[in-house]
Amino acid sequence: MIPCQKVSLPHFLFPETCNLFVLREDLHHIFVSGNKWRKLKYHIQHIQNEHFHTVVTFGGAFSNHLIATACAGAMYGFKTVGIIRGEPVENMVLFLCRQFGMTLHFVSRTAYKDKFLCFEQYTQQQTGYYFLPEGGADETGIQGCTEIWQEIPSYIDHVFCACGTGATLAGLLKGKPYTHTHTRIHGIPVLNAFESIQDIANQYSSEYHFHTTYTLGGYAKTNFDYLTSLTLFSQHTGILLDPVYTGKVWYAVQDLAKKQYFAPNSNILLIHTGGLTGIIGMWERYPQKNE
Ligand SMILES: *Cc1c(COP(=O)(O)O)cnc(C)c1O
């Protein structure tokens, strides 16, 4: 079990009429963290059972999924190849991927769009290579995410998760147990691809709330006030949020609570889907002054 941690925040950050909890999915493992761990679980079983020697996967230069896959490969004994979108670059995330033994292969943004072609060109039809979709976001990954419910106490009234591809939201919808029929599921898209997220989610259920006003304009977009509120959250809880995913969930939950969206005494759960590569990539944008 991982902690479902109650956080107490000062009233100017969060109204005292509701209770806020954080599900520490980020604590599964420092690098194979959060929903990336959930999404990899059944892929790893399959890779081991079928004796694939190398996993080929995909991501941007600040991808939580790449680090998770690289580290999992080192732990479970398979080689990893990361096909990276865009011009060759070097950063702390890619450094860590290499540190875990991943081979990095940069392709143009156009070439990146056809992942099966990238895979075929890289593997040259040799056997033993496993195609792992970007973010681990397929049926297998969604199945892993259904298990998040095992960590969610039945007193929780509202569950919030960040949506990139929507696979985690889909897993929550697919796995919702009868013990939690009253629990409402909320998805916070972190980019403006609302339709593709909802297409994945709606395959399982339409019983969720989708809040589209918290993207701040798009993927990895931020602003001064937003980053300040992430800093304040961390200073009062000891929990780091990243500006790309979990930060936007906090932004949404905080705004909804301030607008009295929740009934008094509601128990609200923010799923910490892990992954701190976003904060590694953006630390220079944060307000640095110490008042
Ligand atoms: C990848 C990622 C997400 C997005 O999850 P999806 O299943 O693609 O919607 C959310 N939070 C964090 C921290 C992530 O790394």
| Residue 63 Cβ < 6 Å to ligand 1 | no
**What pairs with residue 54 in β-bridges?**
79, 129
| Closest ligand 1 atom to Cα of 165 | 8
Share of the chain above pLDDT 90, in %: 95
Ligand 1 centroid–CA 101 distance in Å is 23
Q: How many other CB atoms sit within 10 Å of the CB of residue 282?
A: 17
| Closest ligand 1 atom to Cα of 26 | 13
| Residue 162 Cβ < 6 Å to ligand 1 | yes
List, edge to edge, every strand of the sheet that includes 54-59: 103-107, 79-85, 54-59, 129-131
Please give the distance of CA 49 from its chain centroid, rounded to a whole number: 26
Kindly list the distances between the CA atom of residue 209 and the CA atoms of 47, 160, 170, 212, 238, in Å, as whole numbers in the listed order. Answer: 35, 9, 12, 10, 28
Mean pLDDT, residues 212-232: 97
Name the residue at shortest CA distance from atom 5 of ligand 1: 164
pLDDT at 139 over 90: yes
Mean pLDDT, the chain, as a whole number? 96
Helices (H), 105-151: 109-112, 115-123, 139-146
pLDDT at 171 over 70: yes
Extract the tokens encoding 262.
Answer: 């929740």
| Closest ligand 1 atom to Cα of 164 | 9
List, edge to edge, every strand of the sheet that includes 19-23: 4-7, 19-23, 267-271, 158-163, 184-189, 209-210
pTM for the model: 0.97
Whole-angstrom Cα Rg for the chain? 19
The dihedral sign for the CA sequence 231, 277, 188, 144: negative
Residue with tokens 């109204």: 15
- Predicted pLDDT of residue 179: 96
DSSP H or E run through 35: helix 34-49
- Predicted pLDDT of residue 288: 80
Mean pLDDT, residues 207-230: 97
CA 232/CA 238 separation, integer angstroms:
10
DSSP H or E run through 7: strand 4-7
- Predicted pLDDT of residue 252: 98
Reported confidence tier of residue 290, pLDDT bands at 50, 70, 90: low
CA 167/CA 139 separation, integer angstroms:
8
Mean pLDDT, residues 94-110: 98
Reported confidence tier of residue 23, pLDDT bands at 50, 70, 90: very high
| Strand ranges inside 32-134, DSSP E | 54-59, 79-85, 103-107, 129-131
| Residue 104 Cβ < 6 Å to ligand 1 | no
Q: How confident is the model over 45-101, as pLDDT tens digits?
A: 999 999 999 999 999 999 999 999 999 999 999 999 999 999 999 999 999 999 999
